Amino acid sequence: MIAPLRTLLQSKGILSQIVVSMSLAALLVVVAVGGVARRYEVERVSEQLSEQANLTVSLLSGLMLEAIIVEDVPVLETGLVEAITRYPKILSIHIENGEGEVIAEAANSSADEAEGYVMYRRPVEFEGFVFGTMVVQWSTEEGREIVLDKVRQTITWTVLAVIAMSLLMLYLVYRLALNPLQIVHARMSNAVAGAKTAHSSLPWYSSREFQALNVSVGVLEDSFAERDEREQALERAREQAEIASRAKSEFLANMSHEIRTPMNGVIGMAEVLRETKLTPDQEMYTDTIVKSGNALLTIINDILNFSKIEAGKLELTQATFNLRTVVEDVVMLLAPKAAEKWVQLTLRYDPDLVEFYDGDAGRIRQIITNVVGNAVKFTSQGSVHIDVTGTLRGEEMDLRISVVDTGIGIPAEKLDRIFHAFEQVDGAATRSFEGTGLGLAISTRLLQLMKGRIHVTSSEGKGSVFTIDITLPTSDRAPVAFLPEQPVAGLHALIVDDLELNRRILGERLRSWGLRVTEAASAMEAMLHLDEMRDATDTCDLLFLDFNMPDCDGYELALRIRGLPNAARVPIIVISSVDPALSQSMLADIGSCHQVLKPVRADQLRVVISQALGGEASGNSRDRSDAGSPKLGKRIKLLMAEDNRTNQVVVTRMLKNENVDITIAANGQEAVEMYLRDEPDLILMDMMMPVMDGLEATEEIRRLESEGDQPHVPIIALTANALQSHEEACLEVGMDDFLSKPIRKQALLETLHKWYDVRADAAPARQVEA
Ligand code: ADP
C-alpha cells in the first residue's frame, strides 16, 4: 500500500500531489465521521425504540390484564391479533401464565423472516402479584433505515465540505506558493542557461520567504553572469595565446629558415675559402668564421628545438633503427674533439645486447650527442667512457646508456639545476665553456616524451656519470651478417694495449664472434705470450696492436713480432688515434698489416678482420666519415635544383675537386626538364623554389620514372627548415635523404657517397637507419 502510493506521489507535480493527499485525507475523514455518526444514531434510535416498545407493551398488558388473570384464551387471542394489526412493528407476541405456559399467541406474517428485532419480556402484575408474562418480538427494521439515512446524510455533507475546503486550499496553494515558485524556478533556469529574465519581481501577495528566495536568485544570476563573462574573457585569452604560440613557432621556424640560408653562404664560403692558399693570419680568420658560424647554428637549433618541445609540437617518429650504430655515430662525431685534447673516448656496446629497436633514432642520437658532447667538453684530461647495457623485459628492453667522464664535475648543490633550461654551472660572467644551457633541458624533455629519464652523479673536480634510462621495444629485424665474412670462430687473437678498458671492449667483441682472446698490457707481455704459445704449440691467428703505448709504439712492436718464427706471417691490425699512424712504406716493412683509426666501429672491425684474414693487400681501413675527402670512383652526374645563387656557388665550389659534373636548375620545372635531358645519377633538390617547388618536382620525376620504367634516381632534399613535418613531407613524395642547410662539405660528400654507392649496388630500397 505504502510503496505504490510513494511512487504515485513521486511521479506527480505538486498540484496532483496535493489532490491525491487531500483525497486520501477526505477518505479518512469520511470513514471516521461515518463510524462516529453511525454509533451515535444507533444509540439514539435504540433509546427511542425501547421507549416506544415499553409504552406499547405496558399499554397492552394493562388492556388485557383481566383476560390474563382469568386465562380467557379466546379474548386474549383476539386482543393479540388486534395488537399485531394495529402496531406493525410487533412481529409476534405471546402471553405466558404464572407457570410459564403459553396461553395465547399471535404472529405477523413476516415474523419468521425478520432480521432486525428485539424481544421484550414484560411481567403482567396487579397489586403486587405477577399473573404471567407478555413476550413481544419488536421489529427494529425501521430504526435501521433511519440510522442509515442519517449516516448517509452526514457523510454527504462532510464530503462536500471537504471538497470545498480542498478546492479552496488548492487555489491558495497555487496562488501563494506555486505561482511564485514557478517564477523563481523559471528565473533560476534562465540564469543557469546563461540568460537574464526580463521581469524579475514576484506578485505583491507572495510571502516574505519567496521574496527572499527571489532576491537570492537575483544574486545568483549576477554571479553567473560574471562567471560567464570571465569564462568568455578567458576563452578569448586562450585563443589569443594559442594564436601567439602558433605564431611563435612559425616565427621560429621561419627565422631558422631565414638565418640558415645566409649562414649557408657564410659557413660554406668560409669552408671553401679555407681550402684556397691563405696566409696564417687569413687562415685563422677563416677558421674563426667557420667555428663561430657552427656555434651560432647550434644555438639556433637548440632554441628551435626547445621552443618546439615547449609548444608541445614535437612529434616523435617510430622506425626500426640500429642502436649500436647510433651510439657509434656519436662517438665518431665527437672523437676528433676528444683526440684534440688527448682525451680517450671509448665505447662498450654489450655484445649480447640486441641492436635493433623501434624508436626515434634521430632524437635518441640527439640526446646521446648532447650528454657525450658535454662529457668531452667538460673533460680536459683522462677519459670519457660510454657503456650501453640492457635487460630484456618481454618484448621490451630496459636500456641504460651511461657516460662516465673524468672532467671538472658538478658541485652537489647545482646537480638538479643543470637539467633546467638556461642553467649552467659557471655563471654567464665567468663562462669559460661555450653552450646555451639548453642541451640537458632538451634531452630531459625528449626523454620524458619517450618515457625515459636521465640522472647524474658527480664529484667536483673528479668527474661525472650521466645515466640515460630508456625502454624501447626490440625489433624482430635480425642483425644481418654481423659476423666477419671469413670464418673466425675458434681463431686465436692477441690484443696488445696498455689500457685495460680498451682491451676489455675489443676482447669482449671478438669473443662474441667466437674468437679466443689473449690480452697483453705491454709489448713485453705480448712477446712473452707469443713465446708461450710457441712452446705450447698454440697458434696466434690475429694480432691487434695499440699504436700509442708508453714502452714501445705499435710499429716497433710489429717489427719485433715479425722477428718471432711463429708470428712472421700473422696478420696484424694496428689501432691508432693518429691518421695515418703508419705510412705506406712502414706498412710494407711490416707486411700483412692493416691499420684502423680509433674509435673502431664494430662493422669496421668486421671488415678489417675479413681483409686481414683474406690476405688482402695491406692498407688503411678507415671509416668513411673520417676519411677527409674521399674521392668518388667514377665521374657522376649531379643535378642541383636550387634558386639561391650563393648556395649554387657554395655547392659548386665544394665539389670543385671531386669527380662530379654539376648541372644547375634554377627551379623545379627546369629540374624536371634537365632530369629528362641529362639522366643524372643524383639530384640535390631545394625545397623552396619559384615556379615549381622541390616537392612537386620530385613527385613529377618519380611519376616519369615509373612511366618510363627508369631506375630510381636518389633525390636528396636541401632543407633549411628543421621541422620534423618537412622531413615527413619529403619522404612522402619519394625523396631519399636530407641535407640540412647550411650545407657542410663533409656531410655533402658523405651523402653523395652513400647514395652513389647505393645506386651502384642497385639497391632500390631506402636504407634503414644503420
Ligand atoms: P650547455 O652544455 O650548452 O651549457 P647543458 O644543458 O648541456 O648546456 O648543460 C648545462 C650545464 O651542466 C653545463 O653548462 C655544465 O655546467 C653542466 N654540465 C653538463 N654536463 C657536464 C659534465 N659532463 N661535466 C661537468 N659539467 C657538466
Residue among 297, 345, 374 whose CB has most ligand 1 atoms within 8 A, to mutate = 374
Q: Is the CB of 301 under 6 A from ligand 1?
A: no
The answer to whether the CB of 437 is under 6 A from ligand 1 is yes
Longest Cα separation, the chain? 185
Cβ of 371 closer than 6 Å to ligand 1, yes or no, is no
- Whether residue 257 is predicted with pLDDT greater than 80 in this model: the reply is no
- Report the pLDDT averaged over residues 192-196: 77
For ligand 1, atom 11, which residue shows the shortest CA distance? 424
Helix (H, G, I), strand (E, B) or coil at 682: strand
Query: What is the Cα–Cα distance from 637 to 684, expressed in whole angstroms?
Result: 11
In the reported structure, the alpha carbon of residue 262 is separated from the centroid of ligand 1 by a whole-number distance in angstroms of 29
- Closest approach atom of ligand 1 to CA 424: 14
**Nearest residue CA, atom 2 of ligand 1?**
435
Q: Is the CB of 424 under 6 A from ligand 1?
A: yes
Return the ligand 1 atom nearest residue 423 CA. Answer: 10
**Whole-number pLDDT of residue 466:** 96
What pLDDT does residue 770 have? Answer: 33
Is there an atom of ligand 1 within 6 Å of 439 CB? yes
* Ligand 1 touching residue 408 (CB < 6 A): yes
Predicted local distance difference test score (pLDDT) of residue 318: 83
Q: Which residue's entry shows cell 672532467? A: 407
pLDDT tens track for 641-685:
988 877 888 888 888 878 888 888 988 899 999 998 888 889 999
The stretch 526-555 carries a mean pLDDT of 87
Beta strands across the sheet bearing 682-686 = 660-665, 636-641, 682-686, 715-719, 737-740
Q: Indicate whether residue 286 lines ligand 1 (CB < 6 A).
A: no
pTM over 0.75: no
User: Ligand 1: which atom is nearest the Cα of residue 375?
Assistant: 23
Q: Is 464 in the pocket of ligand 1 (CB under 6 A)?
A: yes
Distance from Cα 374 to the centre of ligand 1, integer Å: 6
Tell me, in angstroms, the distance from the centre of ligand 1 to residue 335's CA: 19
Tell me if 410 CB under 6 Å of ligand 1: yes
Residues 556, 572 contacting (CB under 8 angstroms) = no
Q: Give the residue, by CA position, lying nearest to ligand 1 atom 23.
A: 375
Question: Does the beta carbon of 379 sit less than 6 angstroms from any atom of ligand 1?
Answer: no
CA of 465 to the centre of ligand 1 (A): 12
| Ligand 1, atom 8: closest residue by C-alpha | 437
Q: Is the pLDDT of residue 736 over 50?
A: yes
326/369 Cα distance (integer angstroms): 10
User: Which three cell numbers, joined as nine digits, stand for 230?
Assistant: 570571465
Ranked by mean pLDDT, the top range of 402-406, 725-729, 732-736 is 402-406
Q: Which of 305, 424, 465 to mutate to test the pocket of ligand 1 (most atoms within 8 A of CB)?
A: 424
Q: pLDDT digit string (tens) for 213-242? A: 888 888 888 888 898 899 999 999 999 998
φ/ψ (deg, to 5) at 764: -75, -30
How far apart are alpha carbons 277 and 280 in whole angstroms? 10
**The pairing of beta strand 682-686 with beta strand 737-740:** unpaired
User: What's the 746 CA to ligand 1 centre distance in angstroms?
Assistant: 27
Strand, helix or coil at 598?
A: coil
Q: Cell 667538453, residue?
A: 377
Radius of gyration of the CA atoms of the chain, in A: 58
Q: Ligand 1 centre and the CA of 457: distance in Å?
A: 13
Distance CA 426, CA 437 (A): 10
CA of residue 435 to ligand 1 center, whole Å: 8
DSSP assignment string, 536-566: TT----EEEEES--SSS-HHHHHHHHHTSGG
Ligand 1 centre distance from Cα of residue 466 (Å): 11
Is residue 760 helix, strand or coil? helix
Q: Report the atom number in ligand 1 closest to the C-alpha of 425.
A: 16
Q: What is the mean pLDDT of the chain?
A: 83
Nearest ligand 1 atom to the CA of 409 is: 25
Going from the Cα of 184 to the center of ligand 1, the distance in angstroms, rounded, reads 67
Considering Cα of 63, then 65, then 70, then 72, what sign does the dihedral take? positive
pLDDT, tens digit, 9 for 90 and up, residues 675-732 = 988 888 899 998 888 888 888 999 999 998 888 888 888 899 887 765 556 777 788 8
Does 368 contact ligand 1 (Cβ within 6 A)? Answer: no
C-alpha distances (whole Å) from 62 to each of 66, 76, 119, 131, 146 are: 8, 12, 19, 12, 30
- Ligand 1, atom nearest to 407 Cα: 24
Q: 380, 418, 447: which to mutate for ligand 1, most atoms within 8 A of CB?
A: 418
pLDDT of res. 482: 46
Q: Please, are residues 464 and 457 in contact by the beta-carbon 8 Å criterion?
A: yes
Q: What is the pLDDT of residues 562-581, one digit of tens each?
A: 888 878 888 999 998 776 77
- Asked if residues 379 and 343 have their Cβ atoms less than 8 Å apart, the reply is yes
The reply to whether ligand 1 has any atom less than 6 angstroms from the CB of 442 is no
Which atom of ligand 1 approaches the CA of 408 most closely? Answer: 25
- Distance (Å, whole) CA 301 – CA 286: 22
In the prediction, which pLDDT does 630 show? 44
Output the residue whose Cα is nearest ligand 1's atom 16: 425
- Kindly give the distance from the C-alpha atom of residue 104 to the centroid of ligand 1, in angstroms, as a whole number: 141
Which amino acid type is present at position 717?
A
Nearest CA to ligand 1 atom 3: 435
Q: What's the length of the chain? A: 770
Q: CA nearest 372: which of 466, 287, 435?
A: 466
Query: Is the minimum distance from the CB of 375 to ligand 1 under 6 angstroms?
Result: yes
Q: C-alpha grid cell for residue 620? A: 688503411
Ligand 1 centroid vs 300 CA: distance in angstroms? Answer: 18
The fraction of the chain above a pLDDT of 70, given in percent, is: 90
Q: What average pLDDT does this structure show over 199-205?
A: 81
Buried b or exposed e, range 521-553, using 16+ CB within 10 angstroms? bbbebbbebbeebeeeeeebbbbbbbbbbeebb
- Under a CB-based contact definition with an 8 Å cutoff, are residues 464 and 418 in contact? no
Residue-wise pLDDT for 72-82, tens only, equals 888 888 888 88
The whole-number pLDDT of residue 388 equals 96
Report which ligand 1 atom has the smallest distance to the Cα of 419.
Answer: 6
DSSP letter assigned to residue 581: S
Residue 342 CA to ligand 1 centre (angstroms): 20
Cβ within 8 Å of residue 110, ≥6 positions away: 91
Q: What is the pLDDT of residues 601-637, one digit of tens each?
A: 888 888 888 888 876 545 554 443 333 344 555 678 8
Ligand 1: nearest atom to the Cα of 463: 24
User: Cα separation of 324 and 685, whole Å?
Assistant: 31
Higher pLDDT, 14 or 91: 91
All three cell numbers of 209: 520567504
User: What pLDDT digit, counting tens, does each position of 340-398 carry?
Assistant: 888 989 999 998 898 899 998 888 999 999 999 999 999 999 999 999 999 999 889 99
Cell numbers representing residue 318 in the block? 617510430
Place of cell 689501432: 575
Q: What is the pLDDT of residue 768?
A: 37
Torsion from C-alpha of 588, 592, 597, 599, nearest 10 degrees: -160
> 11-65, pLDDT tens digit by residue?
567 777 777 888 888 888 888 888 888 888 888 887 887 788 788 888 888 888 8
Q: Which of 385, 368, 600, 569 is nearest to 469 (CA)?
A: 368
Q: For 444-494, how does the pLDDT look when each residue is reduced to its tens digit (9 = 90+)?
A: 999 999 999 999 999 999 999 999 999 999 987 655 544 555 677 788 999
Q: Which of 7-21, 101-115, 242-256, 617-631 has the highest mean pLDDT?
A: 101-115
Show the 3-state SS of 376-404: HHCCCCCEEEEEEEEEEECCEEEEEEEEE
pLDDT in tens, 745-764: 888 888 888 777 655 554 34
Q: Is 444 in the pocket of ligand 1 (CB under 6 A)?
A: no
Which residue spans within 406-491 are E strands per DSSP?
453-459, 463-473
| Strand order across the 102-107 sheet | 102-107, 90-97, 129-139, 117-126
Residue 425 C-alpha from the chain's centroid:
34
Which of 301, 376, 378 has most ligand 1 atoms within 8 Å of its beta carbon, as the pocket-test mutant?
Answer: 378
Looking at residue 368, its pLDDT comes to 94
Q: What phi and psi values does residue 87 have, to the nearest 5 degrees? A: -110, 95
CA of 166 to the centre of ligand 1 (A): 88
155-173 b/e with 16+ CB inside 10 Å = b?
Answer: beebeeebeeebeeeeeee
The rounded Å distance from CA 424 to ligand 1 centre is 6
Report the pLDDT averaged over residues 550-557.
84
In the structure grid, which three cell numbers stand for residue 155, read together? 457523510
Compute the distance from residue 298 Cα to the ligand 1 centre, in Å. 15
